[in-house]
Amino acid sequence: MTYFAWPEGHRYGATVSFDFDAESVWIGEDPRNAERPGVLSQGAYGPRRGVPELLRTLERHDIRATFYICGTDAERHPRSVRSIVEAGHEIAHHGYTHTNPTELSSAEQRVEIERGLAVLREFGEVTGYRSPSWELTAVTRELLREHGFTYASNRLDDIFPYLDADGMAELPVSWILDDAPHFWFANDTWNKTIRSTREVLDVWLPEIDGIAARGAHVMLTMHPMLIGRPSRLDMLDTVLAHLRDTGAWFGTSQQVAELVRSGALTEDGPELTEGARVR
């Protein structure tokens, strides 16, 4: 059954997204990491090696992706951000620093939004926001409206994109289709096992097939420093080929948001959940 009428008759929608997360994520986790070059080098792998590899993979599959980028990472790695834009991909806001908005004052949240936006707009158009923690406050939402954002991607409450009560498109995320729960590893997580790509494929592909069967939207959320490792790039090849083979329509976050806001994603059948309606 199909709940949304996706463009060009496709069964379902898919967005390939990356949280750029270089050094900023590690400093956000622990400010003392700013003085730990070994820890920071994990993040530096993303722009140094992961992004070039990912751009080649996306070009091979003819897919445009969305990269959510922290302002401080863009300042550290402008060449990497330019390479993303020059390859035709979307950039979106991921904070100025990688700091949970719920831990900031109203004034600090304004700085995060405005400084991050100023940096990223030097590289191109920015219309979307993903919180570093997938968490928002009432102040965050007001700042997004004030600065003209048209979509956000933070909630885990649906497999359909939808309009929220403020008229902003929401593109839901999920931990199950995020690479971090499977691959994240740090010096203080020795009790956590790094999962094999085979195990992750066994999680991701059935979830994708279930979303496809419902005509909904796959939001892949990945990190260049994690998914950009050689074996995982091969895994990503498999996932992208599977998406195409099973009838996915690929769109950037901005493109999906435009469809939602325009009403172009129309109901098709009585089984449609509230995910397609304003709420």
Give per-residue pLDDT as tens, 51-84.
999 999 999 999 999 999 999 999 999 999 999 9
Fold of the domain built from segment(s) 7-268? TIM Barrel (3.20.20)
pTM: 0.93
d(CA 142, CA 166): 10
CA atoms within 13 A on the CB side of 165: 4
Q: At residue 163, what are phi and psi to the nearest 5 degrees?
A: -90, 130
pLDDT tens-digit readout, 216-273: 999 999 999 999 999 999 999 999 999 999 999 999 999 999 999 988 776 554 344 4
- Over 80: is that where the pLDDT of 189 sits? no
Handedness of CA 237, 240, 126, 157 (dihedral sign): negative
**Best CA proximity match to 41, nearest among 76, 93, 82:** 76
CA dist., res. 78 & res. 73, Å (int): 8
Tell me the C-alpha to C-alpha distance, in Å, between residue 204 and each of 26, 90, 130, 235: 26, 24, 22, 10
CA dist., res. 224 & res. 235, Å (int): 14
- Nearest-10 crossing angle of helices 106-120, 138-146: 40
